[in-house]
A and B are shown apart, each in its own frame.
Chain A
């Protein structure tokens, strides 16, 4: 029963990893662009949530709307003003620029919030859970995390495959040079992709804030989990990203079941095994 429990908890944890990963997957899918500051943006969103609710006493219902909105707007302008300038040519400039952004963000967070690790107190939600019998309990918060991940991936899937915006995003992913001949503007479409990814980053940050302790240097580890989930699932595939997150989460909780020290290691090992067996991931898109 402890193993079943570990698998269930791992799946729920996988929801969080899928939330970490969805934005990365989306930006890569549309722009072939890897944002090395992705994890730091998630941590920034977590601090924003902490500052609003924990320090400024903003009502949480308002804060959970405000954080994704602020991140989305910031993402749009970051793409238009900064990132679009390094896109399209060599692979190296975007890597260097986002690596630099990562360092800047970590130092800014350190300056404002100190190096102490923090966590947002979610009150009764922290401990609420449902008993499934057989010693398995599902925490309300992990369940919300998982449902949020399914909703986010489902929502992105809807936008991509059922709307005019999604059509434009997929066309841009296929052949950006042709898009202006359709009346589309590459710079704007790229920025819309980053806006969507950043809204998801905002949602991921909210859950990070209440789920675990975090500190200004927590970003790169989130980036690593996100990377692993994206690559396990297959580059550019959104449902694949969810599956990748779940596999990573289950691997980690099973590892932790063997020995608490094996949690992270087990995740990496499963990632490596899948990379060797299926280098293009489980549901490759391209």
Chain B
């Protein structure tokens, strides 16, 4: 498999505060990769740096064979990276359908259009003229995923898509993942629910305090290794 995304020694700052201390992550074409880690580990920051929302000029981020670090976020989006952001961030004055359509503004062609998104999330059909923010949390999450898919991305970034949702709703949403993969899209999911992450991913990275503390396939990793990488040495003492 060819490498789609690769970061080398990626660092990120909020003013003087350093949030990432040299992250090496790769995602292959069509692969599903999960990032796990505690609150504040830097997972969202990592996604923001890839999308160009955080300045990353002069760093090593390659995507599809091009160095994209320092590109404007809209240019990176057009190159094929779409994001389902933390908290969903639907546009309140747009209807469900308008929220989906605006995702297609970049003009990339591919398998995803309105019909394909409605087939993936049939619940949305009856709601298409509602304001996006008038839906249930799970349906809003479906709109946010659909909006990102509408850009026909090569890489889909998902930031905590199960946060705050009921277990049944989470299952509904994760059922979409195989169909998204079939379209050829690689997926990078940030997930606090480790069980969910291991179930869906080909490979897992664990972040702690701005560093990668563990990486491997779900089959390779043991619970003890994950607990250690997730919480650090302190919990090992407690255990």
Q: A174-B93, A180-B74, A185-B74 are in contact. Are A167 and B102 (CB under 8 A)?
A: yes
Q: A167-B98, A174-B92 are in contact. Are A180 and B72 (CB under 8 A)?
A: yes
Whether A184 pairs with B105 at a CB distance below 8 angstroms is yes
Q: B51 at the A/B interface (Cβ < 8 Å)?
A: yes
Beta-carbon contacts under 8 Å, A164-223 to B: 164, 167-168, 170-171, 173-175, 177-185
The interface size bin for chain B is 20 to 34
Beta-carbon contacts under 8 Å, A215-256 to B: none
- CB-nearest residue of chain A relative to B133? A174
* Closest Cβ–Cβ distance, residue B68 to chain A (whole Å): 13
- CB-nearest residue of chain A relative to B151? A183
Q: A180-B53, A182-B102 are in contact. Are A170 and B77 (CB under 8 A)?
A: no
Residues of B within 8 A of A168 (CB): 102, 105
Q: B30 at the A/B interface (Cβ < 8 Å)?
A: no
Binary flags per residue of B92-114, CB closer than 8 Å to A gives 1, else 0: 11100010011101110000000
What are 20 inter-chain pairs, A to B, with CB distance below 8 A? A164-B105, A167-B94, A170-B93, A171-B102, A173-B93, A174-B91, A174-B93, A175-B89, A178-B91, A179-B74, A180-B53, A180-B74, A180-B77, A181-B51, A181-B53, A181-B73, A181-B82, A183-B77, A183-B78, A183-B107
Whether B94 pairs with A181 at a CB distance below 8 angstroms is no
Q: B146 at the A/B interface (Cβ < 8 Å)?
A: no
- Bound complex: CA of A37 vs CA of B125, how far in Å? 46
Choice from B77, B93, B107 contacting A181 with Cβ under 8 Å: B77
- Bound complex: CA of A131 vs CA of B77, how far in Å? 60
Choice from B52, B72, B92, B103 contacting A182 with Cβ under 8 Å: B103
* Closest Cβ–Cβ distance, residue B133 to chain A (whole Å): 10
Residues of B within 8 A of A184 (CB): 74, 102, 105
Residues of A within 8 A of B98 (CB): 167, 170
The interface size bin for chain A is 10 to 19
- Bound complex: CA of A175 vs CA of B132, how far in Å? 14
Whether A183 pairs with B93 at a CB distance below 8 angstroms is no
Residues of A within 8 A of B106 (CB): 182-183
Whether B51 pairs with A185 at a CB distance below 8 angstroms is no
Choice from B52, B93, B103, B151 contacting A180 with Cβ under 8 Å: B52
Residues of A within 8 A of B103 (CB): 182
Binary flags per residue of B33-51, CB closer than 8 Å to A gives 1, else 0: 0000000000000000001
* Closest Cβ–Cβ distance, residue B90 to chain A (whole Å): 9
Whether A182 pairs with B89 at a CB distance below 8 angstroms is no
Closest 9 CB pairs of A and B: A183-B106, A180-B73, A174-B91, A183-B105, A180-B74, A183-B77, A171-B91, A185-B74, A170-B93
- Bound complex: CA of A182 vs CA of B143, how far in Å? 13
- Bound complex: CA of A151 vs CA of B92, how far in Å? 27
Q: B70 at the A/B interface (Cβ < 8 Å)?
A: no
- CB-nearest residue of chain B relative to A188? B74
* Closest Cβ–Cβ distance, residue A285 to chain B (whole Å): 8
* Closest Cβ–Cβ distance, residue B70 to chain A (whole Å): 14
Residues of A within 8 A of B72 (CB): 180, 185
Q: Which of A173, A180, A183 has the most CB of B within 10 A?
A: A183
Residues of A within 8 A of B147 (CB): 182
Whether A170 pairs with B53 at a CB distance below 8 angstroms is no
Binary flags per residue of B188-212, CB closer than 8 Å to A gives 1, else 0: 0000000000000000000000000
- CB-nearest residue of chain B relative to A174? B91
Q: B85 at the A/B interface (Cβ < 8 Å)?
A: yes
- CB-nearest residue of chain A relative to B103? A182
| Besides the known contacts A171-B93, A171-B102, A183-B78, 20 further A-B residue pairs in the complex with CB atoms under 8 A apart | A164-B105, A167-B101, A168-B105, A170-B91, A171-B91, A173-B93, A174-B93, A174-B94, A175-B89, A178-B85, A179-B74, A180-B53, A181-B82, A181-B83, A181-B85, A182-B151, A183-B77, A183-B107, A185-B72, A185-B74
- Bound complex: CA of A178 vs CA of B91, how far in Å? 9
Choice from A175, A177, A182, A183 contacting B53 with Cβ under 8 Å: A177
- Bound complex: CA of A107 vs CA of B228, how far in Å? 71
- Bound complex: CA of A179 vs CA of B102, how far in Å? 9
Choice from A167, A173, A178 contacting B89 with Cβ under 8 Å: A178
Residues of A within 8 A of B101 (CB): 164, 167
Residues of A within 8 A of B151 (CB): 182-183
- Bound complex: CA of A240 vs CA of B71, how far in Å? 40
Residues of A within 8 A of B85 (CB): 178, 181
* Closest Cβ–Cβ distance, residue B52 to chain A (whole Å): 7
- Bound complex: CA of A264 vs CA of B168, how far in Å? 63
- Bound complex: CA of A175 vs CA of B87, how far in Å? 13
